[in-house]
A and B are shown apart, each in its own frame.
Chain A
Amino acid sequence: MTTIKILGSGCANCKRVEQIAHKVITDMGVEAEVIKVTDYAEIMAYNIMSTPGLVINEKIVSTGRIPAPVEVSSWLANALETA
């Protein structure tokens, strides 16, 4: 199954990304699990330097900004194709 991870300590921006992820999943009607990663050691395992980070199937697709829903849906579509 597709997993989407939101990397971030839980600040306002991270919550926005999480909302967008949920919205995109519902809109596309796909099955995906959204996991919030708040532990710094775990976040840093992805070697990112700015949060929020968005990871789809263990691939980092965006860091340090709130991506637009269109972007997220295209990344998700890509991930579904390659899976």
Chain B
Amino acid sequence: MLAQKLHLHDKNFLAWLAILSATVIWVILYNVIEPFANWLTYGLLALPQDSHLGQSLAFFFYDAPKLLLLLCGMIFVISLLQTFIDAQKVRAMVEKRGEGVGNLMAAFFGAVTPFCSCSSVPLFIGFVQAGIPLGITLTFLITSPLISEVAFVLLIGMFGWKVALLYLISGITIGMISGFILGRMKLERYVERFVYDIKPRSGVQIALEEKLTWRERINRSAESTREIVNKVWLYVIVGIVIGAAIHGFVPQDALTGIMGKDAWWSVPVSVLIGIPLYSNPAGIIPIVSALLDKGASLGTVLAFMMSVIALSLPEMIILRRVLKPQLIAIFIGVIAVAIIITGYLFNMVI
């Protein structure tokens, strides 16, 4: 028994040691990127400091490694936190709450749990089966895709903490309020009947109680970080290439007229354009950054980004399995309005 315990401690210790050394390497790398990018562009390639190509390249050589490093590091930390939470636990916590507090909790947990669009249906059915009100269930279903950990990390990397937090808080608020309103609208009749008829199978061992050791948590987080970064790195690079091109070649303030604060119609138009579009959050943010650079306003750009990642055609097709078209239409409408209001708010405040 004692030997076994020691063994476990050793393994945990080794895992922590690996994290410590990874952190040290990470910090060193992060600090040499900028001088390296400048040396590469203006030293090795000898491009003039004020040339378009030089500026574009320096932007690329700096941003690409910086964002990829940030992604690896922060997604790992977020994944580690996520090993403590899963949909089952969230359901158990939300189950006892009524509307209001329930919406707040569902929005919060929707933001922190990882989202996979293929899980929306099981999630929806699981919540409804437990007797959780429709509005609270929809809150979770809105916030979960709206707040993407990848988008959050990239926002930190490109615009800093404040904008990332603004995104997080406004996403939670949008999910909470839209879900609450949808709940008040008494839309239960637009949920497909079969959802209410599903009965758990007998003889199935349902409980999946897992007690994870730190080593397992660390391993799993490393694994899911690898998955996520594998999935998004190409989008980030392509996004940065486009961003770098805009950065270097499009004149300053070119977009002020169409996407600036004074163009009042730009928020709803951006949101409407974003609804059917679907892009990986990773691909859109570098482009967003370039748009901002050229005079588009933050509220407009954030609203566009949120509508692209929260509402998409593929997601709606999946939800159609459990929701009738009327409910899907109302769902899209309420969220779109909430995002538009948020966009205006940002444009007013900032």
Residues of chain A having any CB pair with chain B under 8 Å: 8-11, 13-14, 40-41, 43-52, 58-66, 68
Contact = CB atoms under 8 A, between A and B. Distances in A.
Interface string B214-246: 000001100110010000000000000000000
Contact of B122 (A10, A50, A66): A50
A45 B200 contact: yes
**Which of B194, B200, B205, B219 gathers most chain A CB within 10 Å?**
B205
A68 B215 CA distance: 14
Nearest to A58: B204
Contact of B118 (A13, A58, A68): A13
B12 interface: no
B203 interface: yes
B6 interface: no
A61 B206 CA distance: 10
Contact of A46 (B127, B201, B220): B201
B199 A45 contact: yes
Contact of B201 (A9, A40, A45): A45
What 9 A-B pairs are tightest by C-beta distance, nearest first?
A: A11-B118, A45-B201, A49-B87, A49-B126, A50-B119, A59-B205, A44-B198, A47-B200, A44-B125
Interface of B: 86-88, 91, 116-119, 121-123, 125-127, 129, 194, 197-201, 203-206, 208, 219-220, 223-224, 227, 318, 321-322
Contacts of A9: 118, 121, 318
B53 to A, nearest CB: 38
Contact of B204 (A14, A45, A63): A45
A81 to B, nearest CB: 16
Given A44-B198, A58-B205, A65-B220, A49 B88 contact: yes
B91 A49 contact: yes
Contact of B223 (A60, A61, A68): A68
9 contacts: A10-B118, A13-B116, A13-B118, A43-B122, A46-B200, A49-B88, A50-B123, A64-B116, A66-B227
A51 B86 CA distance: 12
Contacts of B117: 11
Contacts of A51: 116, 118-119, 122
A8 B116 CA distance: 12
Given A11-B116, A13-B116, A59-B205, A45 B121 contact: no
Nearest to B231: A12
A14 B118 contact: yes
Nearest to A59: B205
B129 A46 contact: no
Contacts of A61: 208
B129 A64 contact: no
B198 A41 contact: yes
A47 B205 CA distance: 10
Contacts of B220: 65
Nearest to B201: A45
Given A47-B200, A48-B208, A66-B227, 12 more contacts: A9-B318, A44-B125, A44-B129, A47-B126, A48-B126, A49-B88, A50-B116, A50-B119, A51-B116, A51-B122, A61-B208, A62-B208
B84 to A, nearest CB: 14
**Which of A40, A47, A59 gathers most chain B CB within 10 Å?**
A47
Given A11-B117, A49-B122, A60 B203 contact: no
Nearest to B223: A68
A68 B181 CA distance: 42
Contact of B203 (A8, A43, A47, A58): A58
A48 B87 CA distance: 9
A60 B206 contact: yes
